[in-house]
Amino acid sequence: MKFCDLNTNCETLNLSREQVADAFGDYWVNNYSQKVYGHLYKIHKNAKDFLMAMDKVHYDLTKKMENARPPRFEYEQIDDKTLIMHYKSQRGMIDFMIGLIKGVGKFYNENLEVEKLSEDKVKIVFKGKI
């Protein structure tokens, strides 16, 4: 049996890497992390505030984890509704980042347009409550 790696499609499930990443992101944000990190969602009132906190959350949370190499994010605010997140990691998991961002949009009942601009840049347009 073959599992998805980062460069091939998932032959077992016959899904693309993007589809697997979206399914993972939805499950991780809306199920698993609600049980473990629910408090972090409660203190932020919308998807943008939550995403803006993610660099610090990853940095702070992994400080004491041995061998952790958290992704780092830099933020470029284009206007009130448009944010570019710069992704800094050796792991090349930007498709998973995108899946997680979509999961965050769903959690806050917001319509997000999420577009990969390059392997280290994602544009997010916040289009309001669903």
x/- map, 58-77, ligand HEM, by CB under 6 A: x--xx-----xxxx------
Among 15, 89, 106, 116, binds ligand HEM (CB under 6 A): 89
Distance of CA 36 to CAs 5, 32, 33, 63, Å?
26, 7, 5, 18
Backbone angles phi and psi of 96, in degrees to 5: -70, -35
Residue 7: CB minimum distance to ligand HEM, A: 15
Q: Round to the nearest angstrom and report the end-to-end CA distance of the chain.
A: 40
Q: Give CA–CA dist 52/56, Å, rounded.
A: 9
Complex with ligand HEM: residue 1 or 5, whichever CB lies closer: 5
Helices (H), 1-130: 17-27, 33-42, 47-62, 94-107
Q: Is there binding between residue 20 and ligand HEM (CB under 6 A)?
A: no
Q: Is there binding between residue 91 and ligand HEM (CB under 6 A)?
A: yes
Residue type, 71: P
Residue 36: CB minimum distance to ligand HEM, A: 8
Choices 16-24, 57-65, 76-84, 106-114 (CB under 6 A): range interacting with ligand HEM: 57-65
Backbone angles phi and psi of 14, in degrees to 5: 55, 45
Q: Is there binding between residue 96 and ligand HEM (CB under 6 A)?
A: yes
Q: By CB under 6 A, name the binding residues for ligand HEM.
A: 33, 37, 40, 51, 54, 57-58, 61-62, 68-71, 89, 91, 93, 96-97, 100-101, 104
